[in-house]
Structure 1
Amino acid sequence: MRYHCIIVLSVIAIDLLASLAKPLSPPWDNMHVKHSWNAVPTNWVSLGRPPPGTTIDLYIALKPNREDALIDALYEVSEPGHQGTYRAHLTKEQVADLVAPRPETLELVNSWLEYHGISSSSVSMTHGGNTLKLKGVSVTQANTLLGASYQVYRHVEWGETIVRTVGYSLPRALHWHVLTVVPTTSFVSLRAQWQTPRNDSRGDTVGLVKSASGEPVTILSGRAKVDFATPSFLRWLYDTEAYRPNAMDKNALGVLGLKGDSPSPADLGAFMRKYRNAGDVIKYLTIVVLNDGVFDPTHPHEEANLDIQYAEAMAYPTPHTFYSIGRGPSGTDDWYITWLEYILDQRDIPQTISISYGYQEISTLREYAFYVCDMFAILGLRGVGVLASSGNHGIGRGTCVNKDGMVRFIPRFLPYRHAFSGPYVTVVGGTTDYQPEVAVTFSGGGFPDHFERPPYQRRAVPTFLEDLGSRYQGLYNDSGRGIPDVAAQSMNLPILFNNREQGESGISGATPIVGGIISLLNDQLISTARGPLGFLNPWLYGRGLATLDDITQGSNSGCGMDGFSAIAGWDPVTGLGTPNSRRMMGQLV
């Protein structure tokens, strides 16, 4: 009997040892919700399942091995006070090492993908080294992998269609390792930030004169109203006339065009001949088409023409690259993710990039916003300064009533980053008139909910909030990152479109204007064997503060209210003010 018991126990022990010898696989079917909307986001309606055969490129954003390393390194190279590291930007390979995920993260995620039959040949590392791309996953397989239900959705106002899901899940074992999966639950409808000019009735007309730049202006009580903010006026106003670029072989300016928008080289050439007396400017222009983007010179887009014409007008003859980004044949892709994948894979990137498209923060997933924000931080770490539009709807479009029936100011998230309201891009607002310049009423501004106030704003923003007091209390995030950072002219900008002159207004114009000015600063640095500015904001809120002209008049209305007012110092209408190129160059180190 005793011998029998020993045999039984031995068998049990052998079975236990055998089970311990096998690798323990996480329960991949133990799914838990990663994100889900309670209902289809506002202004979107479902059109049903995508057509059979629809595929998706999925991007799995992985948490890094060293969580704070990216941002710590970004400030090291962006703050003038860091001796030895300021503007010592990193290479593509150095950044990849910095943002690499933990080895166990890769092992777990690859094991999960293998469990679901995802071929390793369709998986690659992208976006600077922290994202796995799954190429050409069928919608059926994506639904199984993510516990999702992808459908085609149409925006009821703009008419565009996308393929998204209102919720998705991940195995519990992966929640700590994966930041987000794209595209899933972020419903965004990009709008260009231009609009037709509108009359301005602020003050009584008392006479017509010529400005110091030679442009016709209308004198209002107390200031001058510019009839057309032409390139010659802008170059006079922002003091760039005397500077001639010298580093054309090393310095470049990029302009991002989304929704498949592209410019007309013929219109650009005619515009530059008229307003800059320039010769063959087309040799300085490169068009990059990605993801079913479009380059059809016979069918240009107003937004693209506006952006490239004013970037080129300010920075000529600096080489320009225009990126035309589509959303793919089935509407499954994400504009920003597609462009960021491309640009971060390049060894040489334009040192300045202008983005004039944005969307409301309310339609974006928080984790998605953080992810895209980190991609812009990578650009800054590699020496790229990104300028982004604050939007054309002041503090918010419409009534600003949220899903809970409460009024809430609606900031933009660009580029995607709260309007690009993320802390690692420089957000541009709008002005008009001169002597003095004043804020335009549609200048986007406010305090995004996704992002806390960054270190460089800890002195500037509280001053404004103290002046504001209890007004609008509870309608905005009083601890959030404040936008915009700077501003420029955005009313009555003439462009050439299909060989005809017309006027445009909007923050779309202000953004490439500032982008062109920053590109000139980079030209001076590079031509004297110094590194480019890269991420601008720590410099702007520090040494650069004295180089900006403070705007203290005007406000940005919206949500049925008067909005915020421009005051002395930083404000969520015109930021720190408008640039003065000559003074800026004097503050470069």
Structure 2
Amino acid sequence: MHYYHGISVLSVLATGLLGGLAKPLSPPWDDIHIKHSWNTVPRNWESLGHPPSGTTIDLYIALKPQRENALVDALYEVSEPGHPRYHAYLTKEQVAELVAPRPETLELVNSWLEHHGISSSSISMMHGSNTLMLKGVSVTQANTLLRASYQLYRHVERDETIVRTVGYSLPVELHWHVLTVAPTTSFVSPRTQWQTPRNRSDRAVKATPGEPATTLLSRAKVNNVTPSFLRWLYETETYTPNTRGENVLGIVGLLGDYPIPADLTAFMQKYRSEADDATFTVVEVNGGGSHPNKEANMDIQYAEAIAYPTPHIFYSASQSDTDTDFAIWLEYILDQENIPQTISISYSHEEHSISREYATHVCEQFAGLAVRGVSVLVSSGNDGIGRGTCLRDDGTIRFGPTFPGTCPYVTVVGATTDYEPEVGADLSGGGFSDYFERPWYQEEAVSTFLQHLGNQYQGLYNAPGRGIPDIAAQAIGLPIFFNGNEQKESGTSLATPVVAGIISLLNDWLISTGQRPLGFLNPWLYGRGFRGLNDITVGSNPGCNMDGFSAILGWDPVTGLGTPNFHKMLVILR
């Protein structure tokens, strides 16, 4: 078991990281400007008034780095095939140096907190990072510190409550030093805004006129999408991992989620009997989890089904505030000397439910992970082009892509179903980010799709934004075990660990031949790796009461570049 520990801001001062400044600066702290706010209470939320007296929150403060673009520049250098520094991954210490805040930033923030009576004993700095954590701040004190009005909000459809404010402000002097503060204005539901599976009935297999009997038999396999079918479909069944302890696959469980070991054993005994000794290591983050559930089970069961006997680590993070769950886990993993070469994350929420500043900070944390040589796979969501009607608070309709998939520094996994042909599943999340510009590695592929799309849906999405997904895999009607019972589930929570397992096998081969792991996949995928994928040209992802995008030749916002073919990808790497 591992636990996260911060270091006191006072210890930072003592070690001279503030450049030897003798006393805090004292700017006019009453010159306040809004940092972020909503015009109204976000849709489907209602205020229950002020929280009970004595309510406390933990405030997470992200500071701007001294070298603003250095981390991303380094990431692209080590991730672009052909670059002189390709696969020259950075160490933990090198990343920490790139994201370190200016000395005057720490000094100013410390002075501001001291001005408002925040006890130094409640302040910690994340080791080797650019973030501060303020533990146990009273809501009254937070309101004064941030010129906010924290209230208790309830989601009208799900009867879930969170403590939030519709706006907060900072002294003008700090706007150039503080990127974001959380929890503040992000209205993310504690559970169902995250990646949740859909139950789908099996599709009937019907012959079409003139269809060969062999094709019908192949298509019948889709009603039984087992690990054996997936390993056959994506051509991993003949590969056996060689490195064992050197190559590791990590699976992230947020919200206190963790898998049930007995269910993994039952699953493997039935669907991969030679691997019935499959196991995993649990690493607790921020106190660990206490919520056994389907999400964690499907993640570990399908990662193991593909990548066994590769060692698996399940990171079980406590059910802290949903506004900081990603950030807290990322702080933990970035502080580790050794990180799994491949990581699977099946949690996501609507991009527009969080602030641009907070999304930017978390995205940069993912860049810090990628520059260390980690392939991060995240789910694209299960709501097609958007959840419900996609009606925004201002009365407009806007498609709703999911975060962290919209971050350009992760690889996003969509959903497929059927076989001969394999088609884009209607639940496959896809679209274009409102927060992040289209990265250079996507320019050609995404531009081609947009030319094909023409004026359809014009104004309902951000055409210059980062497009998702990048890749896809089977996600409809896959069996899992939960609490000893077998059931079928659907969703990109299943596709994501499948793809992660395949990437982990590729990393195993690279390491076994004395090479560096793949690291950040996207520059390679869009440059050469797409030739090792099965292009999906049928299917769509309806949502927002519309038909959604369509899968076409090449990249599309339903299945990305396609589904993996392990052996073709291996040939490209040789």
TM-score past 0.5 threshold: yes
Residue 568 (structure 1) shift: 0.5
In the alignment, is residue 351 of structure 1 matched against residue 346 of structure 2?
no
Mapping of residues 114-513 of structure 1, within 5 Å: 114-126=114-126, 128-189=128-189, 190-200=193-203, 204=207, 226-279=222-275, 281-282=277-278, 284-291=279-286, 293-295=288-290, 300-328=292-320, 331=321, 334-413=324-403, 417=404, 420-513=405-498
Change (3 A) 1:357 1:332: closer
Question: Structure 1 pair 24/129, CA: closer, same or farther in 2 (3 Å)?
Answer: closer
CA contact (8 A) 2:469 2:558 kept: yes
* 2:18 aligned residue: none
Unpaired runs of 5+ residues, structure 2, are 1-22
Letter in 2 for 1:259: L
| Deviation at residue 385 of structure 1 after TM alignment | 1.2
Q: CA deviation at 1:288?
A: 2.6
* Residue of structure 2 equivalent to 1:557: 542
1:483 Cα deviation from its structure 2 partner: 0.4
1:469 & 1:569 partners in 2: Cα distance? 16
DSSP-derived class of the 2:428 partner: coil
SS at match of 1:557: coil
- Displacement of 1:291 in angstroms is 4.1
Answer yes or no: is the 8 Å Cα contact 1:453–1:479 preserved in 2.
yes
Alignment check: 8 A CA contact 2:231 2:237 kept: yes
**Greater Cα offset, 155-164 or 243-252:** 155-164
Alignment check: 8 A CA contact 1:192 1:358 kept: yes
Provide, for residues 546-575 of structure 1, a one-character-per-residue CA deviation record: whole Å limited to 9, x for no partner.
111100111111112111111100000000
Alpha-carbon distance, 1:280 to partner = 5.2
For residue 38 of structure 2, what is the aligned residue in structure 1? 37
Q: How many residues align?
A: 549
**Deviation, structure 1 residue 376:** 0.5
Q: Which moved more, 1:243-252 or 1:367-376?
A: 243-252
1:405-424 superposed Cα distances (whole Å, 9 cap, x missing partner): 222111111xxx2xx22111
Match of 1:48, SS? coil
One-letter code aligned to 1:314: I
What residue number does 1:97 align with? 97
Q: Could you tell me whether the CA contact under 8 Å between 2:287 and 2:317 is conserved in 1? A: yes
Shift of 1:525: 1.5
Structure 2 distance, partners of 1:127, 1:387, is 25
**1:351, CA displacement in angstroms?**
1.3
Q: Which stretch shows the higher mean deviation, 568-577 or 132-141?
A: 132-141
* Kept after mapping to 2: 8 A contact 1:154/1:161: yes
* 1:148-207 per-position Cα deviation (integer Å, ceiling 9, x unaligned): 122222222233322221111111111111111111111112333311123547965679
Tell me how far 1:281 sits from its aligned partner.
Answer: 3.1
Moved more, 87-96 or 397-406: 397-406
1:232 Cα offset (Å): 0.5
1:146 offset after TM fit, Å? 1.0
CA–CA distance in 1 between the matches of 2:206 and 2:369? 44
Distance 2:243 2:24 in 1: 58
- Letter paired with 1:188: V
Describe the superposition over 1:377-410 as per-residue Cα deviations: whole angstroms up to 9, x where unpaired: 0000111111111111111122222222222111
State the Cα RMSD in Å: 2.2
Separation in structure 2 between the aligned mates of residue 155 and residue 254 of structure 1, nearest angstrom: 32
Decide whether aligned partners of structure 1 residues 322 and 227 sit closer, same or farther in structure 2, where only a CA change above 3 A counts.
same
One-letter code aligned to 2:262 = A
Letter in 1 for 2:384: G
Q: Secondary structure at the match of 2:516?
A: coil
TM-fit CA distance, 1:583 = 1.4
Q: Indicate conservation of the 8 Å contact 1:62/1:131, yes or no.
A: yes
- Per-residue displacement from partner, 1:428-452 (whole Å, max 9, x unpaired)? 1111111221111111111110111
Instruction: Give the distance between the partners of 1:403 and 1:149, measured in 2 at CA.
Output: 20
CA contact under 8 A between 1:128 and 1:378: conserved in structure 2? no
- CA apart distance, 1:587: 1.9
Instruction: Report the TM-score when normalising by structure 1.
Output: 0.89
Give the distance between the partners of 1:338 and 1:231, measured in 2 at CA. 33
How far did 1:258 drift?
Answer: 2.1
Asked whether the 8 Å contact 2:24–2:111 carries over to 1, the reply is no
Instruction: Normalising by structure 2, report the TM-score.
Output: 0.91
1:159 and 1:529 map into 2 onto residues whose CA distance is 53
**Runs (5+) with no aligned partner, structure 1:** 1-21, 212-216
CA distance in structure 2 between the aligned counterparts of 1:56 and 1:332, rounded to whole angstroms: 12
8 Å CA contact 2:25–2:107 kept in 1: the answer is: no
Q: Which of 1 and 2 has greater Rg?
A: 1
